[in-house]
Amino acid sequence: MSDLFKNYIDGKWVAGVSAKTFENRNPANRNDLIGLFPASDVTDVDAAVQAAKRAFPSWRLVPAPKRGELIYRVGELLRKNKEDIARSMTREMGKILKETRGDVQEGIDTAFYVAGEGRRLFGETTPAELPNKFAMCVRVPIGVCALITPWNFPMAIPTWKMFPALLCGNTVVLKPAEDTPHTAVRLVEILQEAGVPTGVVNLVHGRGEEVGAALVRHRDVQLVSFTGSAAVGREIASASGQDLKRVSLELGGKNGQIVMEDADLELAVEGALWGAFGTTGQRCTATSRLIVHHEVAKQVTDMLVARAEKIKIGDGLDEEVEMGPLINQAAREKVLKYIDIGKQEGARLLMGGSVYAAGSCANGYFFQPTIFDQVTPSMRIAQEEIFGPMLAIIKIKNFEEAIDVLNGTAYGLSSSIYTRDVGRAFRAMRDIEAGITYVNGPTIGAEVHLPFGGVKDTGNGHREAGTTVYDIFTEWKSIYVDYSGKLQKAQIDNAE
C-alpha cells in the first residue's frame, strides 16, 4: 500500500478534511507511485491560515537573531540529509542527481545566508531637521504569508521564500506544486525537527485552482509570494489587488544567449548545452534562444548538434544520465505542440523533436533534446515560453542587432553574452533588458546572495534572494523621538 501523506497545520500532521487525495508519481517511471497526498480545500486552507495568524503575535517578538539561529539549525539538518533528499527529489520530479543535490544545496546556502541576516536586518538612521529630535526607520514583519511554489526547484524556491519570511518575523502557509508535494514534506519535517514553534509554518497540499486560489483570497493572508506562469501571476495580482495585499511575483522567461564572432566557441557551446538542456529545459532561466553572429553560426550550430546528440537520457538516479524526463504528460504535449508550430512557421528542425522511449524510458515522460535553426525573432518558438528541451538558433549580423533580438520578447529574466571584447561586455550589461546578465556564462546558475528576478512580464518588480528579499517580507516604519520637551512643528518651526 502506498504511503498516505498529510498536511501540516498548527504543529500537527493532519488529513485533509474531505479525505480526497491525489497521486504523486515518478515522471521517469509512471508505475512508481510515491504516495497519496491530501486534495485539500478551503476548510484546510482556513485552518492553516488561522494557525499562522495565532502564532504571529508571539513569533514576531522572538528576537531576530534567535529566529536566525533556528534557520541555521534547519540548514545544518538539510546538509546532514542532503543526499537522501536529493534522491527522493529525483524520484519525485525527474532531474538528475547532480541537479537535485544542487537544489538542496541552494536551500542550505539560503539557510546560512539568511541566518546571518538575523544579526543585521538593518534599518536606517538619519539626522532630524529639528533640534533635540531623533529620526530612524526600522523593518517590521507583515503577518501571514502565503507561499505558492513551483515543481522545478522544490527545495530551493520554498526556502528562498520561507527562510527570509520567517527571519523577518512572519508566519507562513506553504502550498507546493501538485507534482512535488513530497519534497515539501521533507522540508517541513526538518523545520519541525529544528524546533519551529507551533503554527509558525504550515503546509497545505492541493491544486492551485482550489488551495492556491483560497490562499490568495483569504482575508487573513497579508502577503502572497508566487513563482509560476505569467498568466497565473496576473490572476493572483488582480485578485490580491482587491484586498490591497502585498504580492511578489516571479514569473516566466524567454532567455537568450548571445555568441559573438570573437567568443570562445567551445565555452559558448558548453554553456548553451547546459543552459538549454539542464533540468530538461524546465527552468525559468533556461536558455531557449541562441543568438549567434552569422560569421560563426554554422560552426556553433555544428558543434552544438554534435554534442547534443550524445546527451544520455534516462532515470536521473543513474549517475551517468545527463537529462531526465519532463515533469508530466501535459508538459510533453506542450513541447510536441511547439515542435509543430516551429515547423509550420518555417524553422528548420536540426535534431530531436520527438518523444524518447528507448528501453526503460518508454514508461516515463522523456523527450529528445531539440534544436531548430533558421529561426526568426518573431516566430512563436522565439517568443513564447515552452519549458522543455528545445533551443531556437537565431542568426544576427552585429552586436546591435543581437541586443535588439535579445530584448525583443515580453520577458526579461536572464541573459548571457559570450565575447572577448570588454567594451561589448559592458555595453551588453548596460543595454540588455533583464534582471540577470551573465558574461561568458550560461543563463542559468544564480547565487543566493544576489537579487533574483526580472523585468517586463517576468514579474512585478520584486527581487528574491540577496538583501532585496527583505523588502518583500517587511514593512518600513519611520520613528521620530522628540526629546526637546516642547512642541516642534516640522516644516514650520525650521523655516526661515
Q: Which domain holds residue 178?
A: 7-251+459-478
Domain identity same for 192 and 228? yes
pLDDT over 70, % of the chain: 99
pLDDT for 452 equals 97
Whether 222 and 330 share a structural domain: no
Residues 60 and 102 in one domain: yes
Asked whether residue 206 falls in the same domain as residue 86, the answer is yes
The pLDDT score that the predictor gives to residue 56 is: 98
Per-residue pLDDT tens over the stretch 20-76: 999 999 999 999 999 999 999 999 999 999 999 999 999 999 999 999 999 999 999
Give residue 494's pLDDT band: very low, low, confident or very high (50, 70, 90): confident
Does residue 101 fall inside a structural domain? yes
**Within-domain flag for 192:** yes
Instruction: Mark whether 44 and 159 lie in a shared domain.
Output: yes
CATH at residue 330:
3.40.309.10
pLDDT in tens, 210-253: 999 999 999 999 999 999 999 999 999 999 999 999 999 999 99
Residue 493 pLDDT > 90: no
User: Could you tell me if residue 496 is inside a domain?
Assistant: no
Verify that 369 and 471 share a domain, yes or no: no
Query: In terms of domains, do 241 and 283 share one?
Result: no
**Domain presence at residue 262:** yes
User: What's the pLDDT band for 310 if we cut at 50, 70, 90?
Assistant: very high
Mean pLDDT of 76-97: 98
Q: Is residue 376 assigned to a domain?
A: yes
How far is Cα 228 from Cα 225, in angstroms, rounded to an integer?
Answer: 10
Residues 235 and 367 in one domain: no
Q: How many domains does the chain have?
A: 2
Assign 496 a pLDDT band (cuts: 50, 70, 90).
Answer: low
Whether 366 maps to a domain, the answer reads yes
CATH code for the domain of 145: 3.40.605.10
Q: What is the pLDDT of residues 143-191, one digit of tens each?
A: 999 999 999 999 999 999 999 999 999 999 999 999 999 999 999 999 9
Q: What percent of the chain has pLDDT over 90?
A: 98
pLDDT of residue 262: 98
* pLDDT for the residue numbered 2: 60
If pLDDT is split at 50, 70 and 90, which confidence band does 479 have? very high
pLDDT value of position 198: 98
Asked if 323 and 217 sit in the same domain, the reply is no
Pair (221, 188) in one structural domain = yes
Q: What is the mean pLDDT of residues 410-414?
A: 98
Look at residue 483 and tell me if it is in a domain: no
Domain end, chosen from 439, 467, 489, is at 439
Do 384 and 280 share a domain, yes or no?
A: yes
- Taking all residues of the chain, what is their mean pLDDT, rounded to a whole number? 97
Q: Are residues 125 and 190 in the same domain?
A: yes
Confirm whether 489 is domain-assigned: no
Is residue 353's pLDDT more than 90?
yes
Query: Active-site positions?
Result: 250, 284
Residue 1 has pLDDT above 90, yes or no: no
